[in-house]
Structure 1
Amino acid sequence: MNNFIVIILDGVGVGELPDAELYGDKGSNTLANISKALGEIQLPNLQKFGLGNIISIEGINPVSKPLASFGKMAEVSKGKDSTTGHWEISGLKVESDFNYFPQGFPDEIIQKFIQLTGVKGVLGNKAASGTEIINELGDEHIKTGFPIVYTSADSVFQIAAHEEYFGLNNLYRICEITRKQILIPPLLVGRVIARPFIGNNGNYTRTTNRKDYSLDPPSKTILDYLQMHGINTIAIGKINDLFNHRGINVSEHTKTNSEGMNTLMEYVSMVSNSFIFVNLVDFDVYFGHRNDPKGFFEALKEFDNFLPTLIGKLSENDRLIITADHGNDPTTPSTDHSREYVPLLYYGKNKKAFDLGIRKTFSDVGKTVAEYFKIPNELSGESFLIQ
């Protein structure tokens, strides 16, 4: 049906990059370390694709005739977050780094936030785990009505608030003000993130109503080029947020892996001559950030079980890439993303598989998509399209 599908397994890295030590990520290897922690893992369908041919993973052996071409990709952009990862995958060479606030946000930003949003004050204002800070400050948040503001190792301004006591729409409102009126150039903060939660009495749980407010990509991405040339672009998951709605014809804001996979199957059966860009976020949000290797593996198994259903729907003209945007090793003390290579599996039905080696940039994905659709472009990277 002449569709090209790119699936991002959010946070599924395959080993530290050469500069990982600069990010505090020496020794990170999301897939291999999960396998070690659990005594080995088995993902038979991804193994058939060639996942075990990329790196050594206990329980996932290399195969002599993989179904997909295989390799891994290095990130040239600075950082290790979803925004830079997805932008680079889309063909951008991100030259400038974002601003980071490991000690919390300066007083001038907080005061402007209070003034423009109309809140009476804030809680937190520090780097913290999102699950821990809501349990630490949730009671005080309900008592005072002050939103919880925090950051992480990424360039993010996160605002947590109770869905019932503060209101979901109110949370979205103050996030929009923060994005459009406070964190504006020359200040470069990758994302403002709404982090709603529910619960009472020190026992709080984040909900799936998270919403990301990203910067505009600094130049044209593969989405822009495809849209300009009449190719249908479909975004599933948080893709639309990360590209600030640019270059996207259809957006499906799915909130879980299972919802994302079901939505992907609907579009695979329904559209033609389309680019389908999917982010599956559960690996990162629920298991990487919470240092839960077992839960991470269970989510990988769910995707592995889904894979035969997906490829059964693909025609010989369709193409599929499975990759990631960064690592998120749940076996290390850190709850942050990790600076890692990402896996690359490139599938075409009845197509010969090749060793794609170590790609110099994530942008090779965007370049490959552009060549598939025969779109002239000025994207970074080198295509690995195999007809």
Structure 2
Amino acid sequence: MKRFIVIVLDSFGIGYMEDAALVRKQDVGANTLKHILREVPNLKLKNLEKMGIMNALGKDYKEMKKSKAATFGKSALMHDGADTFLGHQEIMGTRPQKPLMEPFSKSIEKVKSALEKEGYNVEYKIKDNLKLLFVNGCVTVGDNIEADLGQVYNITAALDNIDYSEVLKIGKIVRKSVKVSRVITFGGRRTSPSNILAAMEAKEGKYLGINAPESGVYNCDYHCVHLGYGIDENVQVPTILGKAGIQVSLFGKVADIVSNEYGKSVGCVDTEEVMKLTLEELNKMEEGFICTNVQETDLAGHAQDAEKYAEKLKIADKYIGLIIDKMTKEDRLIVMADHGNDPTIGHSHHTREYVPLLIYGENLKVGFIGSRKTLSDVGATVSDFFHVKSPENGQSFLELI
């Protein structure tokens, strides 16, 4: 049995990157882990502590101490900004390209015409002198107001009124019409078009979108697909492994945003559920790659709620311990993040931070593997582990561990 497990604690940063002063001044001072520990001083994450989370942070803090037996490192973000989609593409081995940044208003007429050409009923919805599109009376098209503004457009749908397959068709029409890095196509049941429209929110006088948590789309039967610009799945780890006949299983948000044509992808949001799925898959899988995204940490960061963030970390930490207990001597585990989302920084967006690389397995070399230049080093290490060709980007650190 030979398995490689990567668990991405979405937004779990360990300190702002030096270039933030030049490219994201609002993130200077961010340190997601440190500030959660400050706000929740009795927080104890025994398995992450064992794996070296405080080593990666660089110091002890109250209940949490450095480990003398940890194999750990940290990584910078190569992609611009601090983005979940781009972060996961980078983890899987894509060399990040600079995305187009512009408000949806720049493309709204082109998108409206493209949708109407395909037979959709499209009208404007207006707030604060800004417009978004309302399609077939139940789907909105507008700016993503939670990611870096101008980088992502959202398709938000009430799935009691429209089938998700039709929503995805709308998303693909929008994707062909615009050149921003990502179009997110999502929706849920037990909400309504009126609830979605009531969650319209304007930002900076240029951006108009739907506040997704307030819209109710996460309430029931949530569906989501992220449509990226210029992403080649053939240079990424899941496709490389899949073509080589090696099993690949993706759980959580990573299943929505990374192509996995040859493997299993199961999207879900709840932390307990996604970690249970990971543990169950480990019990069934004889050889292969598992990657799991814990999304609710990121949602807590967006909500600027350190207490809720800590609660989700405790659930993840419990299951990380159970996963460690099920590992064989050949297995390897990495716990990491894709960016930061400091709930105390004063804004609700992702933060450009270094992320931890916590590595576990039998007979590993103890100590610091260095500060990596790109998240793609993880993907390159996974490929090296399975003796398949390397992805487009990244350098393996397998020999260092």
Aligned runs of 1:266-285 on 2, under 5 Å? 266-285=280-299
Unaligned 5+ runs, structure 2: 199-213
1:10 is the counterpart of 2:10: yes
SS state at 1:345 partner: strand
Alpha-carbon distance in structure 2 between the residues aligned to 1:347 and 1:5: 10
RMSD: 3.0
User: What is the CA distance between 1:301 and its match in structure 2?
Assistant: 0.8
Q: 1:150 aligns with which of 139, 143, 149?
A: 143
> Do the aligned partners of residues 355 and 62 (structure 1) sit closer, same or farther apart at CA in structure 2, a change above 3 Å counting?
farther
1:227 is the counterpart of 2:238: no
1:72 is the counterpart of 2:64: no
Contact 2:47 2:321 in 1 (8 A): yes
Larger mean Cα displacement after TM superposition, 300-309 or 213-222? 213-222
Contact 2:41 2:63 in 1 (8 A): no
User: What is the CA distance between 1:150 and its match in structure 2?
Assistant: 2.9
* One-letter amino acid of the counterpart of residue 244, structure 2: H
SS state at 1:184 partner: helix
Contact 2:92 2:376 in 1 (8 A): yes
1:382 is the counterpart of 2:395: yes
1:206 is the counterpart of 2:217: yes
User: What is the CA distance between 1:69 and its match in structure 2?
Assistant: 0.9
With structure 2 as the length reference, what TM-score do the two structures score?
Answer: 0.82
Aligned runs of 1:1-387 on 2, under 5 Å? 1-21=1-21, 22-23=23-24, 24-39=26-41, 41-55=43-57, 56=59, 58-59=61-62, 61-66=64-69, 68-94=70-96, 96-102=97-103, 104-112=105-113, 114-115=115-116, 116=118, 118-123=120-125, 145=138, 147=140, 149-152=142-145, 153=148, 155-164=151-160, 166-167=161-162, 169=163, 172-179=165-172, 181-184=173-176, 187-196=179-188, 198=191, 205-207=216-218, 209-215=222-228, 217-218=231-232, 220-246=235-261, 248-285=262-299, 287-385=300-398
With structure 1 as the length reference, what TM-score do the two structures score?
Answer: 0.85
Equivalent pairs counted in the alignment come to 369
Identity %: 29
Task: Tell me what 1:133 maps to.
Answer: none
Alpha-carbon distance in structure 1 between the residues aligned to 2:87 and 2:223: 19
Per-residue displacement from partner, 1:137-196 (whole Å, max 9, x unpaired)?
9xxx899656363323152211233343x33x1x552343332x3322772432323144
Alpha-carbon distance in structure 1 between the residues aligned to 2:317 and 2:385: 26
> Do the aligned partners of residues 190 and 60 (structure 1) sit closer, same or farther apart at CA in structure 2, a change above 3 Å counting?
farther
Per-residue displacement from partner, 1:252-301 (whole Å, max 9, x unpaired)?
2233211111111111111122011111111112x111111110000001
> Do the aligned partners of residues 212 and 71 (structure 1) sit closer, same or farther apart at CA in structure 2, a change above 3 Å counting?
same
> Do the aligned partners of residues 103 and 172 (structure 1) sit closer, same or farther apart at CA in structure 2, a change above 3 Å counting?
same
Q: Which has the higher strand share?
A: 2
Contact 1:362 1:381 in 2 (8 A): yes
